[in-house]
Amino acid sequence: MVVLKTSRELRLMKEAGAIAAGALKAAGDAVKPGISTYELDRIAHKFIKDAGAYPTFLGYNGYPAAACISINDVVIHGIPSKKQIVKAGDIVSIDIGATFNGYVGDNAATFAAGEISPEAKRLSDTTREALYKGIEAAVAGNRLGDIGHAVQFYCEERGYSVVRSFTGHGVGTQMHEDPSVPNFGTPGRGLRLVPGMTIAIEPMINMGTHEIKQLSDGWTIKTKDGKLSAHFEHTIAITADGPVILTKV
């Protein structure tokens, strides 16, 4: 069931979104060679706590941290660890949710640690731009397939592949609400977008195969071929005036 939000609810979601975005920026600014993913998680957690919010991921299906931190061939759901030290040349995807006044903001971005290869930069830039292509297609009257197609077309045209076994999602009082928002699709197909829908669009884009594997920790998702992956996400609202990004600092 897709829950449409009132304008009052959209205001509350913007507050949660701003906290999630601030935490993402704080952690992202701290990405540098030598820092552990545990420390990056602490920075995000503290930002959320200091804002009077709750780190949505913590305890979600037993997840043990505030952020998912996914380096290089880790696509999503990397668990922060004191033993995992960021190295120069790594691409570091950070995914953070904040719950404030009962509403969730969910966002992610890929950051460069020191100097990264031109190939890694192009993947990361393409994934960020693909998110904005998806957001541009999130217009009332369009359909979910228009969003997915916009992301997929932009990435595949540049030689990358789109992860299929994970998708974006509705966001509201719950982090994961209906509908599921795939990063692939057919224009004009799928659920019609109407004002009041709030969704997270989150392309996970791979340099090689779209196939993934899950590690035995039950969380970490890696590319099957060991090639790089990038991830960007915003929570957005569909309004009569067009898409509004809720996860903005």
Kindly list the residues in this chain that would bind ligand MF3 in the complex (CB under 6 A). Answer: 57, 60-61, 63, 68, 77, 95, 97, 106, 169, 200, 202, 233
Beta sheet of 242-245, edge-to-edge order: 177-181, 168-170, 198-201, 234-239, 242-245
Out of 74, 75, 131, 200, which residue is the one contacting Co ion (CB under 5 A)?
Answer: 200
Cβ at position 60, least distance to ligand MF3 in Å: 4
- Write down the least CB distance from residue 217 to ligand MF3, Å: 12
- Which residues are CB-contacts of 241 (< 8 A; sequence separation ≥ 6)? none
Q: Could you tell me which residues are beta bridge partners of residue 10? A: none
CB 229 within 8 A of CB 36: no
Q: How far apart are CA 97 and CA 51, in angstroms?
A: 13
**C-beta closer to ligand MF3: residue 106 or 146:** 106
The option from Co ion, ligand MF3, none interacting with 60 (CB < 5 to 8 A, set by class) reads: ligand MF3
Q: What letter does residue 116 receive in the DSSP assignment?
A: -
Q: How far is the CB of 203 from Co ion (least distance, A)?
A: 11
* Cα–Cα distance for residue pair 101/173, rounded to 1 Å: 9
Which range in 29-37, 77-85, 154-162, 200-208 contacts Co ion by CB under 5 A? Answer: 200-208
Q: Which is nearer to ligand MF3, 9 or 202 (CB)?
A: 202
- Is the Cβ of residue 146 or residue 202 nearer to ligand MF3 in the bound state? 202
Instruction: Give dist(CA 74, CA 37) in Å, integer.
Output: 13
> Which CB atom, from 53 or from 68, has the smaller least distance to ligand MF3?
68
